[in-house]
Structures are given as structure tokens and as C-alpha cells.
Amino acid sequence: MVQHLELRLIIRKAMELIEERVCFEDAFPEFMLRTKWNRHVLIQACQMIGDMSFGTVKEKYAVFGQRMKVDAKYVGKISALVCFYVWHLMI
């Protein structure tokens, strides 16, 4: 599957945000907390990158952020990429 540049940036930023939480909040969070974190950091990544953008690019990140809020299946698929990095490679 080919990912749009915007989605790749969101995933990379989410990885950074999860890494921060693991290092500074809870190195071994329970499954439900990890699930909550994944969704939250994906939404947060959309917001942060969108805030640094302008014009139509900013709008794209707003659309991604809205989808992250309402589409649990979509978030689940993307979270797998974030989870793999954090829970398998980092730790």
C-alpha cells in the first residue's frame, strides 16, 4: 500500500509522541492504555503538523484528524504501524 506523504508524517510524529509517553509516563502500559495512547497521539500528530502547515495542506491534516476521531477501524490499521515501532523496536 502506498501511503501519502501526509500520512507518513502523521505516523512518524505519532511514533515520537508515543516514545515520549513510554519514556516519561509509563514504560509498560496496559493494553487499554496503549490503545488509548495510540488514538490520542495520532489525533495530536494531525493537529501539530496541521498547525505548522498552511493552505490546502493544513486542510488535509484537518481531514486526517477528523477521520482519526470518528473511524476506529482506520485508526486500528494505522496504529499497527505505530505499535510495531514502539512496542517491538524501541523496547
Residue 84 confidence (pLDDT): 77
Domains held by the chain: number: 1
In this structure, what are the phi and psi dihedrals at residue 38, rounded to the nearest 5 degrees?
Answer: -55, -50
Residue 54 confidence (pLDDT): 93
Question: Which residues form the domain of 27?
Answer: 5-90
pLDDT of 88 > 80? The answer is no
What is the pTM (predicted TM-score) of this model?
0.88
Euclidean distance between CA atoms 47 and 78, whole angstroms: 16
Residue with cell 503538523: 49
Question: What crossing angle do the helices spanning 55-70 and 72-83 adopt, rounded to 10°?
Answer: 100
Q: List, for residues 26-44, the tens digit of each pLDDT value.
A: 988 898 998 899 999 999 9
